[in-house]
Amino acid sequence: MGKSEIIVKAEELVEFAMKGNDASHDAAHAFRVRDLALSLSAEEGLSNSPDSILTVELAALLHDIGDYKYMRDPSEGKIVEEFLIKEGVDEGIKTRILNIIKGMGFKEEIGGVTETNNCPEFGVVQDADRLDAIGAIGIARCFTFGGSRNRVLHDPKIKPRSDLSKEKYMNKDEQTTLNHFHEKLLKLKELMKTKAGQKRAERRHKFMEEFLEEFYQEWDGRA
């Protein structure tokens, strides 16, 4: 069975809206998150509900459109809502999609946003996004983003920040790329919402730990 018309249009919107982003947050990221979210949905038993699957797929595809890190114009924050209204998405599904997108970020969890956590679709979409932030692809994305912002790879004198508030997390002026692993990426395994997400995160987390051990040995001339 082919893709529904709204999914095709959503994919086209993703391609258009994210074409100026670096490769850490480009359309390929959104498509990977969508594929992961649908796979997790099947494992979590959501596949029998067409409304749930539509919610998951659209939320996963559209979740990074209007991301504050890339926003060039305040009006970009309304692109997703306007798209859903234009396409005549059911009001209940539209509200769920917008709530998932609003609450799924790491900075939101630091800030205490939890009202969407009871929605089963929220768990699989957030877990899918976080899975794409760890493991081999997560490492590649982390260095891609750091390079796009001209960040230092590693500076032993700059220690990872602890007890981050939402405001401190968003202030990345002195952050090195390696510190991002300790401030966020290594914490994601414990924040997975679904059993399927937790299982996949174990492998990706272990790969990151092994990478970091090798990185520090090479940095210090021990390897």
- State the residue range of the domain holding 69: 5-219
CB-CB neighbours of 122 under 10 Å: 23
Mean pLDDT over the full length of the chain: 90
- Name residue 210's amino acid: E
Per-residue confidence (pLDDT) for residue 106, from 0 to 100: 80
Per-residue confidence (pLDDT) for residue 1, from 0 to 100: 47
CB-CB neighbours of 123 under 10 Å: 26
CATH number of the domain where residue 214 is located: 1.10.3210.50
Per-residue confidence (pLDDT) for residue 173, from 0 to 100: 61
CB-CB neighbours of 134 under 10 Å: 26
Cα 11 from Cα 19, distance rounded (Å): 12
CB-CB neighbours of 142 under 10 Å: 21
Across 14-23, 69-78, 120-129, least confident range:
69-78
Task: Tell me the whole-structure pTM to 2 decimals.
Answer: 0.91
Residue 30 near residue 64, CB atoms below 8 Å: yes
Q: CA 118 → CA 95, 96, 123, 127, 158, distances in Å?
A: 14, 11, 8, 14, 38
Say how many domains are in the chain. Answer: 1
Q: Which residues contact 32 (CB under 8 A, 6 or more apart)?
A: 132, 137
Per-residue confidence (pLDDT) for residue 119, from 0 to 100: 85
Read off the pLDDT of each residue in 26-39 and give the average, rounded to a whole number. 98
Per-residue confidence (pLDDT) for residue 200, from 0 to 100: 98
Across 119-123, 163-167, 192-196, least confident range:
163-167
